[in-house]
Chain A
Amino acid sequence: MIGTGRSVNSITARRRHPLARFAVVALALGLLGGGYALAAPTGSTADAAVASGKADDVAQGKSLFVAHCASCHGLNAEGTKSGPTLVGVGAAAVDFQVSSGRMPAADPGAQAPRKPLDEWVTPQAIDQLAAYVQSLGGGPTRPTAEQVDPAKGDPAKGGELFRANCIQCHNFVGAGGALTYGKYAPPLHESSPTQIYEAMATGPQAMPVFNDSVITPEQKRDMIAYITSVRSQVDPGGASLGRIGPVTEGLVAWIAGISLLVLAAIWITAKKRQAHS
């Protein structure tokens, strides 16, 4: 350092420049923020969704939330003993739960069933609630119409994914099935393509989450294509018997088959031979 005093001085002078600190912090913040935005695509789409929702949607949503949801989920969606926090569940969860009538729950049972919608539950109200919950902490957003269009999916591929991931609870055509402690996998007959997508993305109630890295949006669309094509299929073999497998077949064999044949046997033997002269 000695003998090069001038240059050292100039370096230290520049290093201690008051603006340098801000420049470093700004750079670091910029890198962090940009990196985060790049690394977390859901975050960015969430921001986009919030951005698309008008600010007054969020405010309207908040007032709807306070009126219909806050008694269980808390005034700020922070959660209570009777309902989980909704921070970070995303607009998709709101749309799934509210549009299927599951929320607001009628009673705190093992599982909230699908039920007819309340009068206040309009598409607009769901939009507003979704915008509010999305504004709280992001989370999965609602799919676009194109993402859930069954016509754009491949039902054969979707069928394989459906069989590998869904039918162990929902049955081979989505007729539903039992789970433990009063829970159940509901039938998928009434679920709209959007609801099916959202259920996979958010994992409502007892269902696991199938996020986009497990099942891509294209694969989700394939599965929707399979589910909707199979459930709208006319049963080529006659009455479907609920499509729940051999249980109803056995019932029909006994109740219809054996009963009819027993009646036939009674009828045949009741006819006595006419005595010929």
Chain B
Amino acid sequence: MDTPPKAIAGVSTFLDDRLGAGSFLKRNLRKMFPDHWSFLLGEIALYSFIILLLTGTFLTFWFRPTMGEVMYNGSYEPLKGVMMSEAYASALNISFDVRGGLLIRQIHHWAALLFIAGMVVHMLRVFFTGAYRKPRELNWLIGIGLLSLALFEGLTGYSLPDDLLSGAGLRITQGVILSIPLIGTYIQFFLFGGEYPGEDIISRFFTLHILLIPGILLALITAHMILMWVQKHTQMPGKGRTEKNVVGAPFYPAFMAKAGAYFLFTFAVLAGLGTFAQINPIWLFGPYTPADISAGSQPDWYMGFLEGSLRLMPAWEINLFGTSGGTIPLSVLIPALLPLGIIMTGLALYPFLEQWVTGDRREHHIVDRPRNNPHRTSIGMAAITFYGVLWLLGANDEISANFHIGLYETTIFGRIAVFLGPLIAYIVTYRICIGLQRKDAEIVSHGVESGVIKRMPNGEYIEVHTPTSDDILAHMRGKKEIPVIESGADKEGVPPKGARSLLGRLRAKMSKAYGTDHIPLEEAHGEEHAAVGAGERKEVH
């Protein structure tokens, strides 16, 4: 290496002598990052978060988080003279009278949508490739924590401008809190400082939105990144890739350039959306008054599945002692807590459930291709379907209005599909995975079809296969068996201790189903079909 210029060498020696940064940098700048597009998905969320922090700071310079009544006198004509909260008036002020305010507001909102969308696609990548397995379970849990916090961060941010739409969301939040038996009313009075809506909620949500939750998010993101850095990236199976190495590009210069470029891409998409696509036009919604509600009141997309579950739920309630003992509104309690509980708890527990079922205590640094763990992939698709049906039905009024489908028909469809859909998705995904595995096995053992049909001297027609390239073959051979726990009975026919109880037998059964490889890869045996022109003189086509 050439000696660095004096200006750089001087500064870096100064820093190195005092911070000991040299060896740290030497070690970490050469850190390898695998080159696969899906490994960049998490960075959408990371960069969106950075943009959220910057744009959010800009917005706090002008936003006034108070609910005091003022008369609007800004430059948006159709609201002139209307009484509204200071929060809403200042949000209008940011949109119309602060230079660049609307653009920043829109970028902030788009970044919020992409922040959570980025988290979701990143999480799906990690789930479907099994990258959450040992030793990364803790990082997975941190990720679930990040996702839950981000939902809450979004909810509080959505409520801050105090427009009519955000008020509708706030009202539903309050309804959900009230539906909690026994303590619901107390929590509501505590949170809102009295009767709904009161005059405290905006300033309280403001503190949560700009201080507490972002602080925790920032800390958790840091922990998430440090753990990722220390534990190193997982990688797809492939040529030269083992459990002990990482094949890819070094952090400096290649990955750093790519990550920097990807930040700019993310920023470009957000700035482009913020410039060309209007989001959350609060001036059209009007100020929040609890008496008003608009058709098409929806939450932002990440809360859509909760909206959908609320819309699907039949109007069930339990009245204790003829309402004198209180009402338990199952029609709110179940849709608010059950799907969220199923999805979040299911996500958090999945690595541990899988470990329990497979008894797999190994470390995994090479990830699975989704097809090679068909039950996991099917469970994931079933969960996506469950979530997707609820999400879709959160927009059932818009679907009904724009596609001319009866409103009740969408509800009935949703009530059936939310149960039947995941089942169908499970079966279909499983069959697709098995089919793809079969294809892999065929390619490994026979090579790929060359498109040449050959007639043999005895009149038989065969299709000529050519050997697969090493890269693809190594990728396919990366399939690793899923362990199955020992459940077999010993010589006397007595099953092992753990497998005798009902739970133990269930575990053994599930393990067998989960781990059994139905389509094992076989070594190539198709020499007779291996190549064009094999066994005879070379022909030119």
Contact = CB atoms under 8 A, between A and B. Distances in A.
A252 B301 CA distance: 10
Nearest to A226: B78
B114 A261 contact: yes
A32 to B, nearest CB: 42
Contacts of A257: 110, 113-114, 117, 269-270, 273
Interface string A172-214: 1101111111101100000000000000000000000000000
B118 A238 contact: no
Nearest to B293: A168
A8 B328 CA distance: 82
Interface stretch (B173-181, B197-205, B254-262, B444-452): B254-262
Interface in B258-310: 258, 261-262, 265-266, 269-270, 273-281, 284-286, 289, 291-301, 304
Contact of A181 (B79, B297, B404, B408): B408
A184 B400 CA distance: 9
Interface stretch (B35-43, B50-58, B501-509): B35-43
A239 interface: yes
User: Looking at chain A, what size class is its interface with the partner chain?
Assistant: 35 or more
A256 B77 contact: no
B407 A252 contact: no
Contacts of B279: 237, 241, 249
A172 B294 CA distance: 6
A238 B276 contact: yes
Interface string B158-192: 00000011000000000000000000000000000
Interface residues of B, number: 71
Contacts, number: 198
Given A164-B291, A164-B292, A159 B96 contact: no
Interface stretch (A43-51, A78-86, A133-141, A264-272): A264-272
A257 B117 CA distance: 9
A265 B40 contact: yes
B398 interface: yes
Nearest to A229: B78
A156 B258 contact: no
Contacts of A164: 289, 291-292
Given A244-B398, A273-B254, A265 B262 contact: yes
B258 A258 contact: no
Nearest to B391: A250
A236 B95 contact: yes
Given A156-B82, A177-B296, A180-B408, A247 B395 contact: yes
Contact of A266 (B37, B44, B96): B37
Given A164-B291, A257-B117, A241 B277 contact: yes
B265 A264 contact: yes
Nearest to A237: B278
Nearest to B33: A269
A253 B406 contact: no
A257 B271 CA distance: 11
Contacts of A268: 37, 40, 258, 261-262, 265
Interface string A140-180: 00000000000000011101100110011111110111111
A258 B281 contact: no
B437 interface: no
A239 B274 CA distance: 10
Contact of A178 (B269, B284, B397): B397
Contacts of A180: 406-408
Contact of A167 (B78, B117, B118, B292): B292
A169 B407 CA distance: 13
A230 interface: yes
A254 B278 contact: no
Nearest to A185: B295
A118 interface: no
Interface string B77-94: 111111000000000000
Contacts of A264: 262, 265, 269
Contacts of A236: 95-96, 102, 278
A247 B310 CA distance: 16
B121 interface: yes
B96 A254 contact: no
Given A236-B96, A253-B113, A257-B110, A179 B407 contact: yes
Contact of A246 (B78, B301, B396): B301
Given A167-B292, A237-B279, A268-B37, A249 B300 contact: yes
B281 A253 contact: no
The interface centre, meaning the residue of B80, B274, B295, B407 with most chain A CB atoms within 10 A of its CB, is: B295
A89 to B, nearest CB: 26
B379 interface: no
Interface in A218-266: 226, 229-230, 233, 235-241, 243-247, 249-250, 252-254, 256-258, 260-262, 264-266
Contacts of B79: 156, 159
Interface string B399-426: 0110010111000000000000000000
Contact of B37 (A160, A175, A269): A269
Contacts of A239: 276-278
Nearest to B262: A268
The interface centre, meaning the residue of A160, A168, A237 with most chain B CB atoms within 10 A of its CB, is: A237
B297 A245 contact: yes
Nearest to B281: A237
A236 B281 CA distance: 9
Contact of B77 (A170, A229, A254): A229
A236 B396 CA distance: 28
Contact of B406 (A163, A173, A182, A256): A182
28 contacts: A156-B81, A163-B286, A163-B289, A167-B292, A171-B294, A176-B295, A177-B296, A178-B397, A178-B400, A236-B102, A238-B276, A239-B277, A241-B278, A245-B297, A246-B298, A247-B298, A249-B301, A250-B113, A253-B114, A253-B117, A256-B277, A258-B118, A258-B121, A261-B44, A261-B266, A265-B38, A265-B40, A265-B262
Given A172-B295, A178-B398, A268-B265, 7 more contacts: A175-B296, A241-B277, A243-B284, A257-B114, A258-B121, A265-B262, A268-B262
Which 7 residue pairs are nearest across A and B when measured between Cβ atoms? A177-B295, A250-B301, A237-B278, A178-B400, A253-B113, A265-B40, A178-B401
Interface of B: 35-41, 44, 77-82, 95-96, 102, 106, 109-110, 113-114, 117-118, 121, 164-165, 249, 254, 258, 261-262, 265-266, 269-270, 273-281, 284-286, 289, 291-301, 304, 395-398, 400-401, 404, 406-408
Interface of A: 155-157, 159-160, 163-164, 167-173, 175-182, 184-185, 226, 229-230, 233, 235-241, 243-247, 249-250, 252-254, 256-258, 260-262, 264-266, 268-270, 272-273
